[in-house]
Amino acid sequence: MSTPWMVAVVLQMLVTGVLAVIVVSLVRQFGIVALRLNPSAGMDTEEGPGPGSELPAQPVPLLAGGIFQFAGERAQPLIAVFLSPDCTICNAVADHVLTLSRGYAHELDLLIVVHSTPRVAREYVRDHRFESIPVALKQNFPSNHGISTTPFALAITAEGTVAGRGVPNALEHLEELVARAKDDDPRQVVDAPLRVRVEHPVAVAHFNPGTTPEGSNT
């Protein structure tokens, strides 16, 4: 094979690779724009425990140390938000979560579950100023709930019942879940002001962290 021919083949492969990257990026950006133009579509999902499901209390180890009591009967409702550092939409959702955490009426508990290694998760917490919010690693979260999508949010009442779930692509989605979690009837949505409290529950039991992703250290 002559040198000019080899150069032509290499150049063609490089151009094809660049075009593939551009197409993937454009498709991803089109998806983000579509979700922002029609945010209500983002809440539709069959993933995770369905509304009305009763979840027993499960202790979850926190990234900063200590234990968070997930689900079960508690003093107030809980919103759990699942995020990933390599998820573009998650960055916008992270800002919305921070908005919730800055409420002042002390009506809700908040938990962030990050799907990453401990090192990356700590950087993520620092970058998004989540230091005052309980943060757990996805690999330490109970796997029986079947949640793998990010972003994802789960609303749980004070009685430990799932009030709502979905992909929160907008602040309005989180507000809807807040309203459902605070309502006695999870099927009803009420207009409720966002007043969120963040606290770290006291450890009461040991927990099997489950499978840790390759290369991570818990």
pLDDT in tens, 95-147: 999 888 887 357 889 999 999 999 999 999 999 999 999 999 999 888 778 88
Q: What is the pLDDT of residues 8-39, one digit of tens each?
A: 777 888 888 888 778 766 655 554 454 444 44
Q: Taking the mean position of all CA atoms in its chain, how far away is CA 12? A: 40
- For residue 216, what pLDDT band results from cuts at 50, 70 and 90? very low
Strand ranges in 28-143 using DSSP code E only, listed in sequence order = 58-61, 67-70, 78-83, 109-114, 135-137
Q: Are strands 109-114 and 58-61 parallel, antiparallel or unpaired?
A: unpaired
